[in-house]
Amino acid sequence: MKPVIPVRGAVTRMRPYHPPLEGRDGKLRLDFNENTIGCSPMVRKAIRNLTSAAVSMYPEQESVRHELATFFGVRAEELLLTNGTDEALHLVADTFVEPGDEVLLVEPTFAMYRFYCELAGARILALRYDDAMRFPMRGLLTALRKGPRVFFLANPNNPTGSVVRPAELRRILKTATKTLLVVDEAYFEFSGITILPWIRRHNNLVVTRTFSKAAGLAGLRLGCIFAHRSIAEHFRKAQSPYPVNVAALAAARATIRDRRFLRNTLREFRRSRKELERGLAKLGIPFFPSAANFVLLSLGERAKEVVASLARQGTLIRDRSSDFGGAGYVRITFGTLSQTRRVLRQLKEIV
């Protein structure tokens, strides 16, 4: 049945986004790049200590925002807190994208870039990684010279795990004189590569971060958007007044005060990454080097079989074949060292 009131054309033209499946609790979740170690114990304590009054009031975020600005090495006026990185991306589209504007992507990449820009009525120009997962730098610079409104770049990229180095990012910024460059650094903690300090010199640069990955706060939905203050003030005008809940604010403060936990978590994942890549090489399974907390495998026609077999054993990995036109690609998130050894044993039995 059609709606009585006509739906916006941009919505009717969009492909539906299918969120993660339900029923993942209690399983080895290596499918959505979550932190399998979890959050800091200080986070759980901070949430337990929330008073009834704190929960019943609208959240007050300014003191947390200033503390986070100091942690990230930016000025408070250059930082906005958002309801996950998703809201940050939505805010970019709401603030800068008019119907008919051209938005540039390099795909496959995070689906929400296309989602929010199509919702805003944008025209999407999508370049592609090649079969070796190489970034199309030459084609990108050519496209940027034509002045698209926004270019979204995940760095490292999901699902390829590839990273664009600072020297290449300088070339992109130098060329993108009429384009807003949005660099999504969701996996920054794993790559160590960031251009966050550049926002002060470039008023067409936006950087986003998340507490969902390394910090293990995916269930609380907390992200950050960083920009030159001349851009940030427009984001503030377009943002709702209470985007972040009180539990997320308490968790953010606790997270940045427990740096030892974060260091230990990252150390464990680095060990796990080496173990998984070494194990995949021994099994003869092709994979692509990753700078994030996951690795992309090429399993060809056996991809769906392997994903289903692991799921029956309680281990979830992500079939990304649709991103590559049915080429049989699978993504595995790095868990702990023991979790990695478990999935390698299971893969050995299957393959």
Q: Give a yes or no: residue 12 inside a domain.
A: no
Q: Give a yes or no: residue 97 inside a domain.
A: yes
Q: What is the pLDDT of residue 189?
A: 97
pLDDT at 5 over 90: no
Q: Give a yes or no: residue 15 inside a domain.
A: no
> Looking at the structure, do residues 155 and 33 belong to the same domain, yes or no?
no
Q: Give a yes or no: residue 6 inside a domain.
A: no
Q: What is the pLDDT of residue 34?
A: 96
pLDDT per position as a tens digit, 187-199 = 999 999 999 999 9
> Looking at the structure, do residues 237 and 312 belong to the same domain, yes or no?
no
pLDDT per position as a tens digit, 251-299 = 999 999 999 999 999 999 999 999 999 999 999 999 999 999 999 999 9
* 69 band by pLDDT with thresholds 50, 70 and 90: very high
pLDDT at 234 over 70: yes
Q: Give a yes or no: residue 179 inside a domain.
A: yes
Q: What is the pLDDT of residue 241?
A: 93
DSSP 8-state secondary structure symbol assigned to residue 208: E
Q: Which residue has the higher pLDDT, 174 or 21?
A: 174
Q: What is the pLDDT of residue 305?
A: 93
> Looking at the structure, do residues 60 and 199 belong to the same domain, yes or no?
yes
| Structural domain ending residue among the three candidates 191, 224, 257 | 257
Helix pair 303-312, 337-350: axis angle to 10 deg: 120
**What average pLDDT does the structure give for the chain?**
94
Span between the terminal Cα atoms of the chain, in Å: 47
Indicate which CATH number applies to the domain containing 271. 3.90.1150.10
List strand residue ranges (DSSP E) for 185-334, in order. 205-210, 223-227, 287-288, 294-298, 315-316, 318-319, 329-333
Measured CA to CA, the distance from residue 49 to residue 54 in angstroms comes to: 10
User: CB neighbours of 142 closer than 8 A, spacing ≥ 6?
Assistant: none
| Structural domain ending residue among the three candidates 257, 284, 310 | 257
> Looking at the structure, do residues 71 and 168 belong to the same domain, yes or no?
yes
DSSP 8-state secondary structure symbol assigned to residue 211: S
> Looking at the structure, do residues 110 and 31 belong to the same domain, yes or no?
no
**What proportion of the chain, given as a percentage, has pLDDT over 90?**
89
Measured CA to CA, the distance from residue 65 to residue 71 in angstroms comes to: 10
- 63-67-69 Cα angle (round to 5): 115
Q: Give φ, ψ of 312 to 5 degrees.
A: -65, -25
List strand residue ranges (DSSP E) for 171-222, in order. 180-184, 205-210
> Looking at the structure, do residues 88 and 230 belong to the same domain, yes or no?
yes
Q: Give a yes or no: residue 8 inside a domain.
A: no
| Structural domain ending residue among the three candidates 257, 291, 317 | 257
What radius of gyration, in Å, describes the C-alpha atoms of the chain? 21
Measured CA to CA, the distance from residue 101 to residue 33 in angstroms comes to: 31
pLDDT at 322 over 90: no
> Looking at the structure, do residues 264 and 235 belong to the same domain, yes or no?
no
> Looking at the structure, do residues 165 and 293 belong to the same domain, yes or no?
no
* 161 band by pLDDT with thresholds 50, 70 and 90: very high
pLDDT at 1 over 70: no
* 121 band by pLDDT with thresholds 50, 70 and 90: very high
Q: What is the pLDDT of residue 195?
A: 98
> Looking at the structure, do residues 189 and 318 belong to the same domain, yes or no?
no
**What proportion of the chain, given as a percentage, has pLDDT over 70?**
98
> Looking at the structure, do residues 31 and 47 belong to the same domain, yes or no?
no
Neighbours of 152 (CB within 10 A): 25
Between 11-25, 166-180, 314-328, 333-347, the lowest mean confidence (pLDDT) is in 11-25
Q: What is the pLDDT of residue 20?
A: 65
Q: Quote the number of domains for the chain.
A: 2
pLDDT at 118 over 70: yes
Q: What is the pLDDT of residue 16?
A: 74
Q: What is the pLDDT of residue 345?
A: 97
| Single pTM value for the model | 0.94
Indicate which CATH number applies to the domain containing 205. 3.40.640.10
Average pLDDT over residues 321-336: 89
Contact 192, 220 (CB under 8 A): no
pLDDT at 14 over 80: no
> Looking at the structure, do residues 55 and 198 belong to the same domain, yes or no?
yes
Residue 125 bridge partners (DSSP): 104
Q: Give φ, ψ of 223 to 5 degrees.
A: -135, 175
Q: What is the pLDDT of residue 24?
A: 83
Q: What range does the domain containing 304 cover? A: 21-38+260-350
Contact 123, 103 (CB under 8 A): yes
Q: Give a yes or no: residue 346 inside a domain.
A: yes
List strand residue ranges (DSSP E) for the chain, in order. 28-29, 79-82, 102-107, 123-128, 150-154, 180-184, 205-210, 223-227, 287-288, 294-298, 315-316, 318-319, 329-333
